[in-house]
Amino acid sequence: MGAPGSIAAGGVFRDHWGWVRGCYHFKGGTGFAFEAELLAVIYAITIAHQRCWLMLWIEEDSAYIVRLLEARSLDVPWRFMAAWKKALRLLEEFSVHVSHIFREGNCVADLMANPAMPEGWWPYARDEIKHAVVKDMATHSHVRIKH
C-alpha cells in the first residue's frame, strides 16, 4: 500500500497433492513490498520448521527473494538481518526447492496477503481462500512436489 506504506504478508502451506495444510497472515508495519515478501518467506520457513515439515517447496512471486534464497545471500535490509540469518540456518535442515511463480499464478497466497485479512495462523483453508485453492489446483494440477 504505497512506497513505503503499510505492509501485510501471508502464505499458504500445501501438501504434495495441493491441499491446504495451513495458512497465515500478518501485518508488518510500514515498509516496501519487497520487505513484505521477505517477512512472508521468513515466517513460512519458521512455521514449517516448527511443524517439522522439512520437505519444502517455496513458490515466491518476487524474483529477488528467489535469488536471495537460492544464493543464501545476506543482501537484505539491516533491520531484517537477524531474522533472515536464522531462517537461512533453519533451511539447512530442509530438503528445499525454490521457484518463481507469477503473482497471477498463486491467487491463494495473494488473498492471504490482503491487508483486510485478520492476523493469525490457521491449520486449514480459510473460507476466503477455498475457491482460489480449487482454482489454483485446477490451473496447476501438473505441479507436484517430488519425494
How does pLDDT run across 37-89, given as a tens digit for each residue?
999 999 999 999 999 999 999 999 899 999 999 999 999 999 999 999 999 99
What's the domain range around 32?
5-132
Task: Report how many domains make up the chain.
Answer: 1
**Could you tell me the CATH number of the domain that includes residue 110?**
3.30.420.10
Using the CB atoms, write b or e for 77-98: b if 16+ within 10 Å.
Answer: eeeeeebbeebbebbeeeebeb
Cα–Cα dist 88/72, whole Å: 7
Q: Has residue 141 been placed in a domain?
A: no
20-31: strand order across its sheet: 5-14, 20-31, 120-122
Q: Per-residue pLDDT averaged across 135-141, rounded?
A: 67
Which range in 5-9, 79-83, 98-102 is most confidently predicted, on average pLDDT? 79-83
pTM: 0.85
**Which of 10-14, 93-97, 138-142 is predicted least confidently?**
138-142
